[in-house]
Structure 1
Amino acid sequence: MKNALFQPIQLGTLSLKNRIVMPPMTRSRASQPSNAANELMATYYAQRASAGLIVAEGTQISAMGQGYAWTPGIYTAEQIAGWKKVTDAVHQQGGAIFAQLWHVGRVTHPDNIGGEQPISSSALKAENVKVFIDNGTDEPGFVDVVEPREMTKADINIVIEQYRQAALNAIEAGFDGIELHAANGYLINQFIDSEANNRTDEYGGSIENRLRFLGEVVAAMVDAIGADRVGVRLAPFTSLNGTVDATPVDTYTAAAALLNTYKIVYLHIAEVDWDDAPDTPQGFKQAVRDAYQGVIIYAGRYDSKRAEQAIKDGMADMVGFGRPFVANPDLPSRIEKGHPLAQHDPSTLFGGDEKGLTDYPTYAQYRLAI
């Protein structure tokens, strides 16, 4: 019986060769000062094109959307051209790749956004959250975030338009589609989660109101590039970057139902992935499956056995393997053949050069070298 991870799957108009996803992982290797993707990043993604689907690292939709130093953007001609190198390289290797579009909201520092005050759903500072900066003078390092200002209706409309344009830019850059980053405490998540949103207008209070911004952004992107090229990532139970929801099961079941009305091509759920984190409740997974009819991706602490079981159980259609993809460019082959996995070097995850990015060998290369 063939491993369920290696059954093909249809994703919109794409026929994917397996159900293994390389999820988005920030690596902070964009060229400076343009924040453009480059040849090094093209090599990195092309090495991993045997994934059924690659979701590229979080890519800011505007200068105000940047949370960390050296992350790529997709709002200038130079940035679009940089990403074209990446998508061409992945497609030449037979892969499929989506762009992950993000705006970090309050999870930033003025040094990363041209001295501006960050924006968010509300004027609430994310507590105990630090971001990586490069202010051009001191050693780059982590600093505390600052208090944001509450977005006006005009701000909200501007950001919706930036998301719409970024989706168009991603298609121009050759991506097969886009993933909206609505997880992990960034801007859209700051509207969704009750404890990060104290607005009193139509974007705050009830679950329906807190999901309104998500719905308006998705509607704009679906209108721009088509529902079969739009996925959304949510993180129902994480408290990353200081966002917490009081009733996550109710809130995120409602989010799944809302996204189903837009017929988006997939829903990507990031599970809590620290070592002693609780498992996502099975009842919630079933509620999501009942509410949303498209392809469902889960990511977080999966090994090949758990991933295959999730697909067999019908809870997931595809599974993301994050950290394993860092040190194992040929991860699908290693899983299929039962080869051991290499371990990544944590010190090379963010910033730097090819070390810890493109110099990890395939299993075959490793065997040749020993």
Structure 2
Amino acid sequence: MREGTAQAAHFNAAGSSLPSRATVEAQRQYLEVESTIGGYEAIEREASALRRPYQGLAKLLNCEPEEVAILQSATSAWTQVFYGLELSQGDRILTSQHEYSSNYNAFLQVGRRTGAAVEVIPEEGDGEISVAGLERLIAQGRRPALVAITHVPTNCGRVYDAAAVGAVTQQHGIPFLLDACQSVGQMPVDVRAIGCDWLTGTARKFLRGPRGVGFLYASKAAMARTEPAMIDLWGATWVSPSEYRLQRSARRYEFYEKDFSGVVALGVAVDEALELGMDWIWGRIRELAALLRSLLADAPGCRLHDSGRTLCGIVAFSVEGMPAADVRARLREQGICVWISPASSTLLDFQAHGLPPETVRASVHYYNTEAEIAQLARAVAALEGQGGTA
């Protein structure tokens, strides 16, 4: 569990976590096979390894392998769902206050094209999504065409109660799309318990998988009602000059060309998470994040920006008088890797909470140690008074 951390104290699992040696080796070995027998032939030889992530993700998410698709990124997966919906004038899209910019930009673009409207579900005072507010929005007009929220935001440690949202959408028969990029691999995620129609995620964040690979859960009921935004010869079969037939499984959302070595590596990463157990991983991450928050709370000039009933491994903070980019640079000089969240990444959340233009994001994983947590906190505390005017 400590491999890959010798070069720096890595606190950027929310961006791209450190893959295990086994995951990297699986990707390397697949590329070796491609280089010796060819790409198409490698697919045939490594068929078992290429099936592995579908089986593993099905166990991880509590669904069936036929409900799993693997794409080039989480964004590819999300857009295959969203742009496949037939929205029109007067349709309503309900989303969360901390929705990610890529998703919200898509809402705005489709709104301009079709006349569909975007409405934001209010939050409770403690930062939890308001179920009562969601019910009120639903009752205010035409039944929403979609509820689409982000489970965990990119810029802070809040975890929305997705299952509470799913209970409401199921009751009213509203499609529910959940962006779980920051939650899958960090905490237990059960699509049956949540009640979502679609869930999207990525390999590179808390799952410790490779870059360039994303995945999608699509329920059988959702697939019976909708089509992907785009299809190719893999997602559908051309059966006559005027007809195509979609794949019966969620692979209808996939495109043929992808990083097959990354697919194999994702299978290894998912199996490692299953072997360790998501309950243990979630407990360890929360323990480390709580320690970091407690130490940063005592650091002079440091302001924490996390709020919510449930907090996860993403810790957001700023240092008085010092721009976030300078904080990151000073920490990097000491072998500590953190990242920056600009206001444009989750604009509504930044505006609602009066956050600075950028905040620092430290995201822990189980491979971090208590000593690294203390090192980061000491380094932040030492920054007081060094920044001049922000």
What TM-score do the two structures reach when normalised by structure 1?
0.29
Larger Rg: 2
Q: Larger relative CO (CA 8 A, sep 6+): 1 or 2?
A: 2
Larger relative helix fraction: 2
